[in-house]
Structure 1
Amino acid sequence: MDGSLLTLIDLPDEVLLLILKNLDNIEVLYLIIDLNKRFNKLVHDSIFTNHLTMIRCSSNGSFDRLDEQIHDRFCSQILPSIHHNIKWLDVECSSMEDVLLCTSYPNLSGLGLHNIEKNIALCLFTDETPLTHIFQDKISSLVIDVVECESS
């Protein structure tokens, strides 16, 4: 060995894709999108953008929203740049409106709503809300994880 250092940038695209496919899509997009033209092209591939889980599962099994900095960057930059590729989104109740209203999702057909209270879920499908058009026109598969309200 000549002592040279092989960096991530030196790897062929096929090897990079094998590595990146084993990582969380949200982390891959957050860390690599807009890094350079080559990496940007790789992470715009449908394997990273078709199904996005915009939540974290905690050790006790509950769903939490993404870190604020990650969430904000996704809503302001990343989602608008990949919106046409997204077919399924998993979102947590407290970030649902931010994520769903930050851009249009012309190919969105599946949605997972997590940590949502029953009364909020009912309003989404019975009242006129900014999200109503998404549910009426696009979604063919819907998963709702309803949480019970804690009584005081």
Structure 2
Amino acid sequence: MVDVLHSFVDVNQRFNQLAFDSLYIHDLNMTTIMDISSLYDQTSLIDPKVLSRICEKVLPRIHDQIYKLTVEEYSINQILLASNYPKIYSLSLVNFHEVIFYQYLMDNLILRNLIKQITHLNIDIKETTEHCSEIGSKIFALILSLCKKLIVLNFCYMFPTRNYSPPL
């Protein structure tokens, strides 16, 4: 979706209609993750110029039409600062390091206010070691205290040693 928004917006009126079609922007995935195997080996990020253009020119135009949003650690600040998201009910936070995610929950008021309104929260913590730390427990407790409307919570640790074999 990132590439579509970057490539089609403001080319012409027809491309704008395609890029801003409500079927696509209700569930906005702002990650570079293409499939489950790339989730474990993710090293690429959204190009900073592309992300900046989307945050400046696209998100302010569609912010009130987004119901589901997926973001990753390296782009969350820009995406949250680009606009408010009054209709969002589902938030997926993927590819976060545990300590950094905890800092966001503690210090980022925009994120804290956003998660107060959501009913569905998906969190994928990317860790380099296969142990659950005390910070994980603190994250979980903080989420439960902040998310008063929460109905569904998926909290997952992603470890690099996990092997994924695609189905034949």
Which TM-score applies when normalising by structure 2? 0.65
Instruction: Call closer, same or farther: CA 1:110–1:36 in 2, change over 3 Å.
Output: same
Specify the alignment match of 1:37 in structure 2.
13
- Per-residue Cα deviation, 1:92-131 (whole angstroms, up to 9, x for no partner): 1121111112101111111111121222333444x35222
2:2/2:32 contact within 8 Å kept: no
- How far the C-alpha of 1:54 sits from its partner, in A, is 1.2
Mapped to 1, the partners of 2:82 and 2:70 lie a distance apart of 15
- How far the C-alpha of 1:27 sits from its partner, in A, is 2.2
**Is residue 2:98 matched to residue 1:118?**
yes
Amino acid at match of 2:126: V
Give the greater-gyration-radius structure (CA).
1
Specify the alignment match of 2:33 in structure 1.
57
Structure 2 gaps of 5+ residues are: 130-168
Which TM-score applies when normalising by structure 1? 0.71
1:29/1:48 contact within 8 Å kept: no
Match of 2:68 among 59, 77, 88: 88
Mapped to 2, the partners of 1:119 and 1:106 lie a distance apart of 28
| Count of equivalent residues | 124
Amino acid at match of 1:80: P
Structure 1 gaps of 5+ residues are: 1-24
Instruction: Call closer, same or farther: CA 1:106–1:60 in 2, change over 3 Å.
Output: closer
Query: Which gives a bigger RCO, structure 1 or 2 (Cα 8 Å, sep 6+)?
Result: 2
RMSD: 2.1
